Structure 1
Amino acid sequence: MKLQGLHIICCIICLWGCKTPEARRPVSVSSGSFIQESIQRNKKLAAREEAQIKRLIAQDTSHTYLTSQNGFWYYYRQKDTMATQQPVFGDVVTFNYNIKDLNQNTIYSETEIDTVRYAIDKEELFQGLREGLKLMKEGETVTFLFPSYQAYGYYGDNDKIGTNIPLVSTVTLHTITKQSTKEN
């Protein structure tokens, strides 16, 4: 009889022990308010920078500005209407550029930066300039107006460009070297 009672107790313990595990609740619950506040702050910053750039464009009646799909503005200083070739992924381009703030104060001159050799989308370059080069043809000179999120953003360049600085950059594209798309 004692043995039978012991079997019943063991069966009850085994059945109770086979219960599915319950998920543990977090000790602290994050509401996501920091992220929402950050989003709102960044939207206000972007709107303020875009308003600054649009004021500059409105004051500059001597140039015809274009808006890129990537969120920056530009105008041609020298346009080549005959060329059709624009750089694409992997092409190697050589170009010169400078960087100024919106008040036209030079941050980096063309001579400081020197001629740059860059493989499109395969090397590091700030986002706006990377996308701007893809709009150009050989021999063209274009002035770009970049909001900070298209330039160096929150971190700057850890040297002369500070946090959230919109930039103006004049770029001259010298050569486009097409890369072979054939497989060996």
Structure 2
Amino acid sequence: MRLLYVIIGCVAILWGCSQRNREAQREVQDPHQHIDREKLIEANRKYLKAETNAIERYVTERQWDYRVHKNGVYYRILTRSGNNEKAKEGDVVYFTCEMELLNGKRIYEDEPALRTLRIDREDAEIGLHEMLKLFSPGDSVQMVLPSFLAFGLAGDLDEVGMRQPVVYSIKIEKIAKQ
């Protein structure tokens, strides 16, 4: 008989614990439930406007004769080769590249480094893929990729911080057609 009371007591305790756990789970709410979507959208718009203003200040202070691509990249052509060969998806572009932040801090290399990029098939900055399609071997260009086309929200977790535009100085060396 005593054993029966012990078993009934254990079952009652377990049942009570499971009820409290269910109540606690009901109290825990979705953390995203309180985020106001419109406020986030507005905050991102404000940040994008501030970033665009910073890029415009950068190119204006340096007196760039610049163009703005439809994707938001500010660029200027330093030299045109007269060659009409352009890279397409799958082609490999060989180019020298210097990179810096808007504050003038050089990143990755002190001297121009030869890079290769298989267009639209390799992991690299989205804006770089898009812009390299516009130029031919022998062309030199400077461009400012907005953060969303460079290293994004998080940066590269190394030399490029969160939401930082990146300035590229590029010379297209050759294009290997595929």
TM-score scaled by length of structure 2: 0.76
Query: For residues 138-179 of structure 1, what are the alpha-carbon distances to aligned partners after superposition, in whole Å with 9 as ceiling and x for unaligned?
Result: 011111112211111211111111101111111111101111
1:17-75 alpha-carbon deviations (Å, 9 max, x no partner):
xxxxxxxxxx77976744333222211111001011112222233x3101111111000
In structure 2, relative to structure 1, the CA distance for the partners of 1:94 and 1:110 (3 Å cut) is farther
In structure 2, the gaps of 5 or more residues are 1-25
Q: Pick from 48, 51, 59: which aligns with 2:50?
A: 48
C-alpha distance after superposition, 1:87-109 (max 9, x if no partner): 01111111121210112221222
1:143 equivalent in structure 2:
142
Gapped regions of structure 1 (runs ≥ 5):
1-26, 180-184
- Is the CA contact 1:143–1:170 (under 8 Å) kept in the aligned structure 2? yes
- The correspondence of residues 109-120 of structure 1 with structure 2, limited to 5 A, is 109=109, 111=111, 114-120=113-119
Matched AA of 1:35: R
Tell me the percent identity. 29
Confirm or deny: 8 A CA contact 1:97 1:110 kept in the other structure.
no
Secondary structure of the equivalent of 1:153?
coil
CA RMSD in angstroms, aligned pairs only: 2.0
Residue pair 1:101, 1:167 contacting (<8 A) in 2 also: yes
In the alignment, what sits opposite 1:103?
A: 103
Does residue 172 in structure 1 map to residue 171 in structure 2? Answer: yes
Amino acid at match of 1:73: Y
Structure-2 residue corresponding to 1:85: 85
Paired residue type of 1:71 = G
* In structure 2, C-alpha distance between the alignment counterparts of 1:171 and 1:107, rounded to whole Å: 14
Aligned equivalents of 1:108 and 1:37: distance in 2? 36
Q: How many residues align?
A: 150
Q: TM-score by structure 1 length? A: 0.73
In 1, are the aligned partners of 2:100 and 2:167 still within 8 Å (CA)? yes
Highest Rg: 1 or 2? 1
